[in-house]
A and B are shown apart, each in its own frame.
Chain A
Amino acid sequence: NAGVTQTPKFQVLKTGQSMTLQCAQDMNHEYMSWYRQDPGMGLRLIHYSVGAGITDQGEVPNGYNVSRSTTEDFPLRLLSAAPSQTSVYFCASSYSREREKLFFGSGTQLSVL
């Protein structure tokens, strides 16, 4: 059972480049979310989804896009990377009836130069 899989684990981008962080889960979880973790800031919610075709914004959505075409996948897109987006990104999923019991991926460390 793989759980929540994030790729890549590390990424370096130049300012203005675009990329997609991948997230996949094999637990048939309805709820999926993206967080960023910055030193001294804790985790902040970027976007979340309560099911395929449904997404919504979290606390810090600017500069990020998401889509949810399947239950399993929830990619996060950076359309034009900025140094302020240097962070560690975590994908998490849970059953809709127990959303607080989040299962986290191992994270993607992103540096934007």
Chain B
Amino acid sequence: AQSVTQPDIHITVSEGASLELRCNYSYGATPYLFWYVQSPGQGLQLLLKYFSGDTLVQGIKGFEAEFKRSQSSFNLRKPSVHWSDAAEYFCAVGVRYSGGGADGLTFGKGTHLIIQP
């Protein structure tokens, strides 16, 4: 069975500083990996996804993530955070769906990002 671990429950970063959120996955085959963001009182929004190819993927809002198979990791990064980045971030792993894309997403427990002025 697939699983996702986000080791950090809370992360505090100063505005303008760089950010890295950690994600480790467990999956027997080639994983399909995702990062979602949840703003307060809202549903989740897809930030970026990795299926194959280039291990560094770019997403929306200036985020990027790097897939490292040897470390079973898919960490999310941003060079300079803004106060509006304060939110809950979820890493997820999915299985390949024959019709295209991924299915059966398993989410991590989330990392709460706090931005200090």
Contacts and interface: CB of A to CB of B under 8 A. Distances in A.
Given A97-B101, A99-B97, A100-B102, A90 B110 contact: no
B105 A45 contact: yes
A45 B105 CA distance: 8
B107 A42 contact: yes
The interface residues of chain B, by DSSP majority, are classed as strand
Contacts, number: 61
The interface residues of chain A, by DSSP majority, are classed as mixed
B90 A102 contact: no
Contacts of A98: 100-101
Interface string B1-36: 000100001000000000000000000000010101
A99 B106 CA distance: 13
B27 to A, nearest CB: 14
The size bracket of the interface on A is 20 to 34
Interface residues of B, number: 27
Contact of A102 (B32, B42, B44, B110): B44
B43 A100 contact: no
A97 B105 contact: no
7 contacts: A42-B4, A45-B105, A97-B100, A97-B101, A100-B103, A102-B46, A105-B43
